[in-house]
């Protein structure tokens, strides 16, 4: 089955990914669409939230099967999508090739190239420089901002990153470029730990050869669950949801929790962290908003038929993330509420104000 959910077109076209995974169902897609709506509103992007998915296992499908399924899905969606209606992007199980097929299918229907129908495209089809690393870069940038906010030096700070996919790997490399010492990393196959710091250049070479961090000679093996509760300045869950739970929240030894994944902290864990009041939380709808922000930049470039350099893209991304970070932390401090509640409140008010301004017709 294939699904697409559009959550609020009040502020503009809906924006959100398309995922291919066996667990996809309507409830999951609807929840993620609402999540995207609040994320876009918080970042003040002119979008509502959207999310799509097909219940399938792309790992068992041939390239030809994936292409035919993608093109068929796109054809079925044509009455409901468009650059000013619904703009899709890659998500779990999809990539820039998926977006290229979608762009081609839609453009064949219109009779001319419409690059703004999807984002996350290859550069050859007017994708944006900086899109691949955007989410992970944003996680690292905001984590460094949190260190500054706490009066802690970025150079020499320590970090643990859960996940070494697109988000986690770029968070690791960006943090390391800031001078942060990476103590531990996990991926789908296991976790590694080195209290003296992991050589990320050597790790990159190992990963490029073996496609896993497991077996890296420069670190010890550690249980992935235990990794989350090791002492560090920054803990960045950048893979699965619901990994910070009521069982391990009290054991966390981080100073900053940078939520690179969607929903990594359960409600029970969130209550425990609030009661502890010693962890600086960067909530997911802010922390991982780098991806949708650069997707917005790609859409704008496509509409203008004008390409920005990677430096321009990253500079604009950091400016917008910094502005929103200051807005959230300031609102939370003034109202004596958590950063998560502050981010959610700002997002809801942004949508409500737009809805009120538009009014009702007739």
Nearest-angstrom CA–CA distance, 54 and 41 = 26
Is 51 considered catalytic here? Answer: yes
Nearest-angstrom CA–CA distance, 107 and 92 = 24
Is the distance from CB of 218 to CB of 202 less than 8 angstroms? yes
Nearest-angstrom CA–CA distance, 112 and 101 = 14
Residues 6+ apart with CB under 8 A from 22: 55, 56, 57
Omega before residue 362 within 30° of 0, cis: yes
Which one of the listed residues 39, 51, 121, 181 is annotated catalytic?
51
2-7 and 48-54 as β-strands: parallel, antiparallel, unpaired? antiparallel
Nearest-angstrom CA–CA distance, 192 and 213 = 7
Strands (E), 9-157: 14-20, 48-54, 86-90
Residue 64, classed as helix, strand or coil, is helix
Is the distance from CB of 4 to CB of 29 less than 8 angstroms? yes
DSSP assigned state of 148: H
Burial class (CB in 10 A: 0-12, 13-18, 19+), 82: middle
Q: Which residues belong to the active site?
A: 51
């Amino acid at each position: 089955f294939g699904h697409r959910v559009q959550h609020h077109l009040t502020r503009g076209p809906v924006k959100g990914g398309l995922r291919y995974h066996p667990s996809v169902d309507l409830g999951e897609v609807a929840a993620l669409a609402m999540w995207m709506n609040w994320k876009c509103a918080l970042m003040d992007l002119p979008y509502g939230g959207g999310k799509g998915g097909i219940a399938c296992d792309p790992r068992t499908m041939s390239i030809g099967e994936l292409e035919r399924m993608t093109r068929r899905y796109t054809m079925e969606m044509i009455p409901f999508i468009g650059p000013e209606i619904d703009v899709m992007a890659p998500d779990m199980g999809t990539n820039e090739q998926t977006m290229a097929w979608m762009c081609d299918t839609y453009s064949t229907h219109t009779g001319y190239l419409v690059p703004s129908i999807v984002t996350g495209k290859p550069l050859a089809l007017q994708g944006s420089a900086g899109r691949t690393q955007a989410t992970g870069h944003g996680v690292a940038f905001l984590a460094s901002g949190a260190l500054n906010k706490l009066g802690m030096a970025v150079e020499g700070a320590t970090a643990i990153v859960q996940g070494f996919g697109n988000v986690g790997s770029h968070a690791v490399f960006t943090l390391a470029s800031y001078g942060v010492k990476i103590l531990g990393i996990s991926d789908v196959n296991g976790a590694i730990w080195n209290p003296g710091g992991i050589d990320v250049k050597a790790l990159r070479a190992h990963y490029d050869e073996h496609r896993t961090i497991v077996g890296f000679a420069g670190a010890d093996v550690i249980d992935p669950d235990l990794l989350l509760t090791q002492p560090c300045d920054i803990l960045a869950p950048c893979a699965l949801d619901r990994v910070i739970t009521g069982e391990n929240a009290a054991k966390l030894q981080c100073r900053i929790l940078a939520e690179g994944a969607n929903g990594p902290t359960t409600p029970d864990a969130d209550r425990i962290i609030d009661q502890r009041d010693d962890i600086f939380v960067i909530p997911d709808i802010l922390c991982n908003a780098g991806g949708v922000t650069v997707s917005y930049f790609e859409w704008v470039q496509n509409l203008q038929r004008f390409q920005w350099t990677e430096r321009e893209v990253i500079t604009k991304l950091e400016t917008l993330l910094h502005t929103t970070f200051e807005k959230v932390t300031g609102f939370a401090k003034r109202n004596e509420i958590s950063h998560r509640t502050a981010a959610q409140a700002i997002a809801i008010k942004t949508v409500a104000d737009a809805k009120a301004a538009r009014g009702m017709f007739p």
